[in-house]
């Protein structure tokens, strides 16, 4: 009688990975789950492509109506000349042309913005019309001393500059009251200010002299501008006060300074800034070209962004980040049905259900562009849950199991939507939800004999040592 050779102990784990074993099935499910990273990434690409197109349309609308606006000035520019050093041979050189840049001593801005949405195809952007009232006073004082004792100041050529980020959108405001005179603006900007801060308007300041510079000179002007997305101001005064009001219910205050007082409600907002020149990085007057003060001026901007609540693209992208969680959760439920109810579900059937879960995000994106995110989420979730329930009825064997799966998926979709509405608590509640879900799986599977969980799985393996004992061979432990 021949005796079969006893396989080495290392061969027993390999036997348990044969077709139909739980370990092999788990491995196949894990590999399938990893493979679904590809369609999830493809969904990300589609979302990013549509969001890029949305941004392009917003920029196009802003380009036609008026871009993000920044109110600059008024700033007083006074030219002067200083003697040049002669050449080495004593030949004199023409004097150097320089400029005094002088900011207002007191500076007040009142802004009343009326936003609206403009649509182009499926996309919309926020635009606004703002009425501005600029007022204050200049106190030139000792600023002229910055030119130096040998300087010749040309007071008659002094200009006042008022700039905006997008001068094409200036609708009204062609004059400024300087002292007791109304002076008309002309388009253009003087030298470095126009290049660094933006185009705008200038006017010649008549009657300015060293004697007049010793007294405060009041100014006031009004402007009407078109703009989009945001409105910024600069703290140009020794003391600056800015008030802004609008009927837009979702403002976002940002920049170098936040308002000292603000009120936000369904009917709009009001905000007030009160600033001192100690909180910025540039003086009240300087000589143009000495020190990079204009960079500090730009960096000190503050204002309000006409914030649009999270767009459908951002919300869809946030939803898609949970795509793998949905796939893992559903595949886990399938495997539990296999283990507890002794069902046989093919990997291909797992794959079809996974594709259905991935398709949800394309449904969500396409419907959100038409009917809004909330309604699209409900339509997409209902469609996918119904599709999976109907498909899984013959797969799981009974309507009860299929409906249980559908109910759990519906709860998961509902929980995800709730998490996206609670941004501050999303991480905490999401983590607690995952902990409870894992606890539930552990509780349900605590008594399962995984070696015998799948038909044809472990019985033959467990019988192998007994068969060897019958043949007179010791069992391998």
pLDDT, one tens digit per residue, over 414-456 is: 877 877 766 666 667 767 777 887 787 777 767 766 665 544 4
Question: Who contacts 323 (Cβ-Cβ below 8 Å, separation ≥6)?
Answer: 36, 40, 43, 357, 358, 361
pLDDT, one tens digit per residue, over 350-404 is: 888 888 888 888 888 888 878 878 888 888 888 988 988 888 888 777 888 888 8
In the block, residue with structure tokens 């700033």: 75
Contact 79, 99 (CB under 8 A): yes
pLDDT, one tens digit per residue, over 202-212 is: 888 887 877 77
pLDDT, one tens digit per residue, over 137-188 is: 998 877 777 877 777 888 888 888 888 877 777 766 578 888 888 888 887 7
Q: Minimal CA–CA distance to 82: which of 155, 153, 140, 145?
A: 153
How far apart CA 193 and CA 202 sit, in angstroms, is: 11
Residues above pLDDT 70, as percent of the chain: 82
pTM, two decimal places: 0.66
Longest CA–CA separation in the chain, Å: 129
Q: Minimal CA–CA distance to 184: which of 194, 192, 173, 174?
A: 174
Q: What is the pLDDT of residue 471?
A: 41
How far apart CA 40 and CA 360 sit, in angstroms, is: 11
Radius of gyration of the chain (CA): 37
Sign of CA dihedral 246, 252, 257, 258: positive
What's the mean per-residue pLDDT of the chain? 78
What average pLDDT does range 328-350 have in this prediction? 76
Of 200 and 272, the one with more pLDDT:
272
Contact 140, 103 (CB under 8 A): no
């Amino acid at each position: 009688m021949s005796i079969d050779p006893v396989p080495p102990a290392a061969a027993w784990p390999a036997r348990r990975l044969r077709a139909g074993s739980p370990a092999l099935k788990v491995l196949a499910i894990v590999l399938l789950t990893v493979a679904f990273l590809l369609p999830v990434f493809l969904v990300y690409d589609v979302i990013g492509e549509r969001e890029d197109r949305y941004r392009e349309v917003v920029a196009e609308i802003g380009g036609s109506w008026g871009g993000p606006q920044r109110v600059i000035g008024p700033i007083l520019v006074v030219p002067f000349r200083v003697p040049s050093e002669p050449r080495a041979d004593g030949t004199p050189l023409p004097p150097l042309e320089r400029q005094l840049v002088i900011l207002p001593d007191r500076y007040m801005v009142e802004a009343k913005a009326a936003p609206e949405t403009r649509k182009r195809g499926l996309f919309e952007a926020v635009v606004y019309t703002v009425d501005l009232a600029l007022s204050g006073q200049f106190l030139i004082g000792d600023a002229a001393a910055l030119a130096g004792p040998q300087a010749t100041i040309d007071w008659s050529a002094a200009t006042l500059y008022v700039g905006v980020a997008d001068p094409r959108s200036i609708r009204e405001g062609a004059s400024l009251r300087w002292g007791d005179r109304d002076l008309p603006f002309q388009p253009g900007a003087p030298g470095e200010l126009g290049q660094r801060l933006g185009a705008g308007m200038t006017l010649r300041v008549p009657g300015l002299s060293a004697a007049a510079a010793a007294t405060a000179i009041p100014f006031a002007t009004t402007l009407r501008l078109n703009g989009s997305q945001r409105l910024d101001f600069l703290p140009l005064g020794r003391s600056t006060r800015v008030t802004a009001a609008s009927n837009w219910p979702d403002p976002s205050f940002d920049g170098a300074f936040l308002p000292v007082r603000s009120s936000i409600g369904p009917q709009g907002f009001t905000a007030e800034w009160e600033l001192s020149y100690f909180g910025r990085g540039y003086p009240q007057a300087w000589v143009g070209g000495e020190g990079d003060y204009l960079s500090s001026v730009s960096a000190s901007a503050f204002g309000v962004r006409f914030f649009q609540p999270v767009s459908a693209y951002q919300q869809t992208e946030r939803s898609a980040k949970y795509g793998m969680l949905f796939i893992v959760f559903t595949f886990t439920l399938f495997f539990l049905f296999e283990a507890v109810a002794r069902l046989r579900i093919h990997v291909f059937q797992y794959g079809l259900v996974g594709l259905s879960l991935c398709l949800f995000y394309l449904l969500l994106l396409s419907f959100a562009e038409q009917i809004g995110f909330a309604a699209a989420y409900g339509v997409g979730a209902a469609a996918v849950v119904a599709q999976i329930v109907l498909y899984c009825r013959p797969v799981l064997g009974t309507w009860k199991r299929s409906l249980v799966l559908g109910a759990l998926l519906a709860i998961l979709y509902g929980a995800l939507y709730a998490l996206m509405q609670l941004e501050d608590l999303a991480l905490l509640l999401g983590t607690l939800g995952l902990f409870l879900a894992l606890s539930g799986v552990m509780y349900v599977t605590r008594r399962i004999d995984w070696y015998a969980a799948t038909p044809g799985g472990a019985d033959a393996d467990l019988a192998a040592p007994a068969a060897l004992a019958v043949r007179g061979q010791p069992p391998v432990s």
